[in-house]
Amino acid sequence: MDLAYMAKMPAEEFITRRQKLVEQMEDNSVAVVFSSQEQVRNNDCCYPFRQDSYFWYLTGFNEPDSILVITKRDGVSQVYCFLRPSDPLMETWNGRRLGIEKAPQELSINTAYAIEDFLAIFPKISQNLTALYYKKDQQSWGEILLNQLKQESAVDFPRIFDVALILDEMRLFKSTNEIALMQQAGQISALAHIRAMKEARPNRFEYELESEILHEFNRFGARYASYNSIVAAGENACILHYTENDQPMKDGDLVLIDAGCEFAMYAGDISRTFPVNGKFTQPQREIYEIVLKAQKRAIELLVAGNSIQQVNDAVVRIKVEGLVRLGILQGDVEQLIEQQAYREFYMHGLGHWLGLDVHDVGSYSQSFANGDRNSRLRDRPLEIGMVLTVEPGLYISSKSNVPEQYKGIGVRIEDNIVITEHGNKILTSAVPKEIDDIEKLMAQQ
Ligand code: GLY
Ligand code: MN
Ligand code: MN
């Protein structure tokens, strides 16, 4: 696979997305979407810049201090961008800027203005428009600017809508171009996990495997992880979001790695669990086989028309049956499911939408379409073009009251899939998950 292929989204795709947004806006309205801003890490050092996912989705523009404004007036749309003007001195110190002159052509928009002029110009371009769309819950500079406009220039709109209600639904369905980028993210993430398996040894530290993973991401142009990598050996695997990654890995323990790269802004999200010394013990094998069976069954069932909830029900049954067989749970399978007795060992969901954000946007609930914004059910039937993770796990804390040999074992197996007309396609299949395949790969060290 040519990993340099198609790292850039074609400009037409951003135009099409903006058109789709405009189609769903009421007439005589304006949408305002804010970029991210640089975030201070300490003193005068910033975190690596990461563009706001909504802003990126509509512009493909990767600079801070920018605002996209789209007006729809008597059915006709205009697209404006406010951005940082060229500044030779600032650019010498801090990096290149697109600048106002080049922005219309580069971003395929109508007009560009300096960001400093937003408060003066916005009241003019939004004059007499009666509805505003913006991301309401953004605790951002955008919110401050809009409040300032209201107070200083009496810019107010009779109707205000959350633009995310439109954009989340659009983002949930991935285009062919997006799926190609996500395939790359999945492939690079998979290569990183393969490398970690090959590099694992007793007494190495968790961070040593993390460094192999991050290097592999970087090697292919995925400069950042799409979330903080989890490298959790032994019982650390029972801490779901363990990110300290600072412990030595013991001979005889498993290590759970949950890590994915961000490639061209799209997230990969893979978990694999494997023995530090390359050989599963019998109890580790028994727990692992339950999770693997559940994960493979889930992948069979995650097809158009089924819901995540339905598939999770099947996953829960496989796990409960397995845990009863091992004596970790005792009693009647139906009753244990009914009482949710498994939740001590499986306390998270089966998976989540994946895209520009690792926990991507979009409703999981069928009733959302009917206006119910509060439902927590994951009963929405899957549709072609949705991308999601499938990540069952079992976590047997040493504090739990179970047979001794299973204590401290945590296993999660996570892949990324896209729903297709033929079922689904696994984007992360390059990294092994069968016990024999993992042991064979690790024996090649
Ligand atoms: N890595 C975060 C998750 O799996 O949801
Ligand atoms: Mn994950
Ligand atoms: Mn995940």
Low-confidence ranges of the chain (pLDDT < 70): 1-7, 137-138, 371, 445
Are 53 and 80 found together in one domain? yes
At 357 the pLDDT is 98
At 368 the pLDDT is 80
At 61 the pLDDT is 97
Are 434 and 309 found together in one domain? yes
Identify the active-site residue in 52, 216, 253, 414.
Answer: 414
Range(s) of the domain holding residue 239: 173-442
Are 15 and 106 found together in one domain? yes
Are 197 and 99 found together in one domain? no
Of 210, 269, 353, the residue with max ligand 1 atoms within 8 A of its CB, to mutate for a pocket test, comes to 269
Single-letter amino acid, residue 5 = Y
- The answer to whether residue 415 is domain-embedded is yes
Q: Which atom of ligand 1 is nearest to the CA of 391?
A: 4
CA 415 to chain centre: 13
Of 170, 196, 226, which residue sits at a domain end? 170
Per-residue pLDDT tens over the stretch 55-72: 999 999 999 999 999 999
At 385 the pLDDT is 98
**Residue 335 and residue 345: Cα distance in Å, rounded?**
16
Q: Is there a catalytic annotation at residue 208?
A: no
Are 259 and 276 found together in one domain? yes
Identify the active-site residue in 113, 227, 346, 395.
Answer: 395
Q: Is there a catalytic annotation at residue 241?
A: yes
The residue with tokens 């951002």 is 140
Reduce the DSSP state of residue 119 to 3 states and report it: helix
At 145 the pLDDT is 92
**Residue 225 and residue 262: Cα distance in Å, rounded?**
5
The residue with tokens 């922005």 is 103
Residue 297 · residue 267 · CB < 8 Å: no
Counting the structural domains of the chain, the total is 2
Query: What is the CA(173)–ligand 2 centre distance, in A?
Result: 20
**Ligand 1 binding pocket, CB closer than 6 Å:** 227, 258, 269, 352, 358, 391, 414
- The answer to whether residue 425 is domain-embedded is yes
**Residue 243 and residue 253: Cα distance in Å, rounded?**
18
The sign one gets for the Cα dihedral 278, 280, 284, 288 is positive
The residue with tokens 């400093």 is 116
Determine which residue's CA is closest to atom 5 belonging to ligand 1.
Answer: 359
Of 142, 170, 198, which residue sits at a domain end? 170
**Residue 445 and residue 200: Cα distance in Å, rounded?**
9
Determine which residue's CA is closest to atom 3 belonging to ligand 1.
Answer: 269
The sign one gets for the Cα dihedral 358, 361, 366, 372 is positive
Question: In residues, how long is the chain?
Answer: 445
Whichever domain contains 394, its CATH number is: 3.90.230.10
Per-residue pLDDT tens over the stretch 284-323: 999 999 999 999 999 999 999 999 999 999 999 999 999 9
- The answer to whether residue 6 is domain-embedded is no
Of 136, 170, 204, which residue sits at a domain end? 170
Q: Is there a catalytic annotation at residue 332?
A: no
- The answer to whether residue 5 is domain-embedded is no
Tokens of 433: 């998950």
At 371 the pLDDT is 67
